[in-house]
A and B are shown apart, each in its own frame.
Chain A
């Protein structure tokens, strides 16, 4: 296990963390600001990827497909909010879970009907294809570096919006005390709708970015949703900063755990037991981490002080 290999794995971890952040950012806002549990957030990631595939088929250009997919993801998010979610804000969490779970089933099946069950894929954009040698013989794909860069850019943009603009101020206020914000004459419904659409678009963006490296298939968002929930819980619900730090942390822990755990175990047990236990232990790591953090900080790393 050389240092360059560890470096590559750190880059891989960052890249996974960035994708998680894009999904978790919307989820934490929706959960934090509206107190709304949206299980369908993972499907919005999937739908973003499918939109990218569809528009890539039409335009043949990755950037054009990305812009169209983002716009469509935003529209779909707003549409879902208008048709379904808006009617659930005042219901209890169980109703929200049931309804949004229904959306998962519906959209997963709808994509199967429209695009078929087989995995689809779009090629990486020409200008980002290829890989650069980090050291002798160790290559790293340019596209993955581009994902990291794009994610950092989005994080910076979000930071700017949330801390430096009026809209961001309302969002922060809404996360702390929605009733007071409403009493001060802010149209909270419209604020919610905006936050929701934006969150859906971010998830869609993650979907678009991952379309060229992961396969696009029905149900692709379901596993990521669980990890995204881990991220927002570790980061503190409602906190963008928390979800950014937590996403990178989870991405790094998961990736490094998967790549190093078996080798570490091999130091003090025989190879076949290490091969048995290593992968199992590695896939548990992020949940162990979550449990540990919740033990010491029950509201997450960067809890939003919520008025009760």
Chain B
């Protein structure tokens, strides 16, 4: 798995499905490459969607056609040819393996370092698991618990069928189809994703990841997530998986919309570990994500992200603080190594009175990578007494990487209080020697220093996730100091 070039990727995209002879009716399961109105209609039809949904997709497609791919981010890459992508394929039937012996040893080694249980290793590596019955029953138990509270948590394609009134009301309400190039594309062609609704006054009794991890394998190329927290409710949602995601899709353009109604709270945590490309910068996933939350009166949304994967990351989880006294938080760790490029940050749009936002961003760059923080703090004219605190810290390893900070501040109300702090530091020879002298080797020393640097953000993650995220940081930076 050391070499995985763009050509390999393209080849795999071309030949998918056929090789295992899994599908009898190829025509109906995999579409030709290319994107036009017919393809959009066909996707909608395939999913048996109601007319309003088809129209919504078509409108998005019409908008997308008029748009140009943005190029303001501090990243360089060969733009994808959107007509060279197949926009619909049924979930990829991965070859089932009989035992872990057949799995790529590199992958197993990584699992081991992450401390993933043997059973879960099998599941992730697509090995037939004996205890399938067990995990199904676990999933069922979760479903029952959630059901009793009236919580809806299901694939968005199912939600469109079963709860059309909710989906129709909120889909596109925070990230409109016209928002940006990738969001428009996603709106037109999204394959699937998750839908979550927490009823009034309900506190979701579990982290929604546990369920997620058991229930769902890979995620789609154009994923769509919609989370609605009704008045006075609370939910903690975990997205992604710390295990290395060896996805064949090169372009990922997901959209996540969060709606936090009055007095509700949503915590949304992400660990992103898509294939970053090899050490020479070949291959890797382009991750162009639009994530945004709407906060009504007294509502609170916290975004926490640990971004270690992808060749290109373009991602700005944002909060529209519409309601008075609403609160937005953004805690981020972005690691880039080798030739990875990340342009990530947040937008805090203060519209309501007494709105508060906190931004803590930790960028870690190694190898020949480029790591940029880009953030906007906007205080609207009617946002009396709005407050923001931003802290952007960069840690550099070696002399060939770059760290950049692009803070944008727009203030239209003089009662606003805005603080911005930024630091840049470098892991020094002296720090490493000090650790070495205590018997800690350089690799471990870097992990220790990086974890210390990232601590404020790691602390925001749910416990089980935090432990895995720490190990992930370690693995991502392996070999970064020669």
A and B assemble together: no
